[in-house]
Amino acid sequence: MAIAEVQKVQILAHAGVKMEILSTLQEEGLIQLERANFEELDLESSFQEVSHLEHRLHRLSSALVYLSRWEEKGFVKKLFAQKPQIDRQKREEILDFDYLPVLDKIEKLEAEKDELLSEIRFLEKEEEFLNPLEGLELPLRSLKPTDSTEILLGSLPLSQEQSFKELAEKEAIWFEVINRRKRIIYLFLIYPKGEREYFEQILKDLNFVHLYFTENMLNKADENDKVKNVMEKIKEEIKEKEGKLANLEREGQNLFIHRENLMLLHDVLLNERGKIFSSHLLGETERVFYMEGWIRSSDAEKLKSKLQPYTDAIEIYARAPLPEEEPPVILKNPKPGKPFELLTKLYGLPQRGSFDPTLPMAPFFFLFVGLCVSEAGYGLLAALLSLLLIKFAKPKGGLLQFLKLFTLLGVSTAILGALIGGWFGFPVSELMVLDPLQDPLSFLILALVLGFVQVWFGTLLNMINGIKNKLYLESIFAQGGWLLLLPTLVIYFQTKQSIWGILSLVGASGIVFFGSPSRNPFARFFGGLYSLYGISRYLADVLSYSRLLALGLATSVIAMVVNTLCQTALGIPWVGWLLAALIFIGGHLFNLGISFLGGFVHSMRLQFVEFFSKFFKSGGKPFSPFELESKFVEFI
């Protein structure tokens, strides 16, 4: 089924055109290079080149981080932002742009900014320190011990205030309270110098903390400057430095015009590095180099024509993969099935001999998400939003596929919502074929029937795949046995007609006699009986689909709850309508979110655990071609 054919391509060429050929291959992105079995020469110089490039790239990306501050802000703007584009063939022209002065300038600006910031932080610390001492009415420089007295500034825990006062009265301490804070008082005190050690000890016992002005503060103070004046000076200095900072910002903003060029340059250099890395995969001699890799068979001709200019210096071979080789896997599906490849890739790519399960899985997943959410309004909203995003945000790659998938799921939800759900919690009964709230049993049966169909289909795929891989007996009799047994058993229990019973016994005997690979007849028989016990697994798998009902009901009931709350809110006078509108919008958006999350995840689980386990073997390696990678720009 839908796996693209790949070939091994081997290229032998003259060493002189090595970089040109690698450039072309990188531009086209057709080949996944493999390591060639040859010794490498000349590694030393390329490592130097790589480290040089790494250094440049590092400088460029930190400059870009710096410039990104002047990017347009806002969630919507970011969402719809487009990457700058560059012609892939002309990408090397950007290397002429003289970017080193710009980088130097940015680095200088950043260094200056860091310095200013740390200076400002230092000044702010000083101001913080001076703040409680603002009330001190003495010049800073006058606070020096005299011949006979010691002058101190300091703080004391509030709890010690009383004992300090008593002490001051008893001894010869003069003091003044400068400031009172929640738990601390700030003091200025004078005592006789003669008994310094004694005073120091008793102050220490009271938890007195000595405060000193720093050299910097004293330098700032003129002869008569008080704490207040010094603080003003510091504030002024901070303001001045902030002004400088603002100037630096403006200078930086002026460099913003270079941002796009730096982005282009970054990505071009990134790919130069990629080219050197891939050249390590080649086998080289002094005159010739050899490379090999995987290519889509349909791209082989294109590769040859792209390498036409070097035709004198090159030899290209392509061949089918050998049985012992493990080629990378490329999924190939028609357009509507493509978004569902995301799920397959998530589970794992098919291994050799298995096949791509995307198309068999897609219709079930489509249907199940619709059943789980089953709300027409939400479906339309989701589809509309995804379409708008695709149209205006122009996403690429995986995100685009995801949005496409979401559009499809929105459509499915809208259809099934109209049939079995409602429109934002209001059922439109003319459109409905089944109301799960009134008749949950019918919905349950529907869910189980869908589950039965998918599980049976999975077994059928297993049989087909087995036949393809030449496991005829086991596939036809054991898998075929299941295919016969499962539906006939159900019909037999419904109708009790013996013909169905006999048919189911025929199926069961197929499983008993061919279900075990053993050659020993006894082991084979009992092994077969044991595999018949697998019917409990089938039962459990089918019952697992009952979650479709539960999740579907949950969406409708929560939507109903939101609307009931709205009705209650409408009863409130004056602001009732506003409140109701808020509840309606918020509630339904919330429900939309959790319903799609639940619906998506549980439907995915049904595919992975119940469906894929029947037939699918993952373990293939993804195809990752040697191509232009981009971080900031887009190569066109």
Q: Which residues bind other proteins (CB under 8 A)?
A: 346, 440-441, 444, 544, 546-547, 549-551, 553-554, 557-558, 560-561, 564, 594, 597-598, 601-602, 604-605, 608-609
CB 620 within 8 A of CB 329: yes
Q: Which is nearer to other proteins, 420 or 558 (CB)?
A: 558
Q: Which is nearer to other proteins, 364 or 514 (CB)?
A: 364
**Shortest reach from residue 330's CB to other proteins, in Å:** 18
DSSP 50-96: HHHHHHHHHHHHHHHHHHGGGS--SHHHHHT----EE-GGGGGGGGG
Which residues does 196 contact at the CB level (< 8 Å), separation at least 6?
150
Q: Which is nearer to other proteins, 377 or 552 (CB)?
A: 552
Q: Which is nearer to other proteins, 208 or 443 (CB)?
A: 443
Backbone angles phi, psi at 123, to 5 degrees: -65, -40
**Shortest reach from residue 121's CB to other proteins, in Å:** 23
CB 371 within 8 A of CB 416: yes
**Shortest reach from residue 619's CB to other proteins, in Å:** 15
**Shortest reach from residue 602's CB to other proteins, in Å:** 6
CA angle 189, 190, 192 (to 5 degrees): 150
Query: CA–CA separation, 383 vs 390, rounded Å?
Result: 11
Q: Which is nearer to other proteins, 449 or 609 (CB)?
A: 609
DSSP 563-589: HHHHHHHHTSTTTHHHHHHHHHHHHHH
CB 431 within 8 A of CB 387: no
Per-residue tokens: 556: 């409708």
Query: CA–CA separation, 291 vs 133, rounded Å?
Result: 77
Q: Which is nearer to other proteins, 539 or 561 (CB)?
A: 561
**Shortest reach from residue 383's CB to other proteins, in Å:** 21
**Shortest reach from residue 554's CB to other proteins, in Å:** 6
Query: CA–CA separation, 276 vs 47, rounded Å?
Result: 9
**Shortest reach from residue 409's CB to other proteins, in Å:** 15
Q: Which is nearer to other proteins, 253 or 564 (CB)?
A: 564
CB 542 within 8 A of CB 455: yes
Quick one: CA torsion of 40, 44, 46, 48, rounded to 10 degrees? 160
Pairing mode of beta strands 314-319, 174-180: unpaired
CB 13 within 8 A of CB 21: yes
Backbone angles phi, psi at 30, to 5 degrees: -100, -25
**Shortest reach from residue 564's CB to other proteins, in Å:** 6
**Shortest reach from residue 536's CB to other proteins, in Å:** 17
Q: Which is nearer to other proteins, 279 or 555 (CB)?
A: 555
**Shortest reach from residue 61's CB to other proteins, in Å:** 15
Query: CA–CA separation, 278 vs 424, rounded Å?
Result: 55
CB 99 within 8 A of CB 259: no
Q: Which is nearer to other proteins, 221 or 604 (CB)?
A: 604
Q: Which is nearer to other proteins, 366 or 443 (CB)?
A: 443
Q: Which is nearer to other proteins, 209 or 550 (CB)?
A: 550
**Shortest reach from residue 574's CB to other proteins, in Å:** 23
CA angle 504, 507, 513 (to 5 degrees): 140
Environment class of residue 327 by beta-carbon count within 10 Å: exposed (0-12), middle (13-18) or buried (19+)?
buried
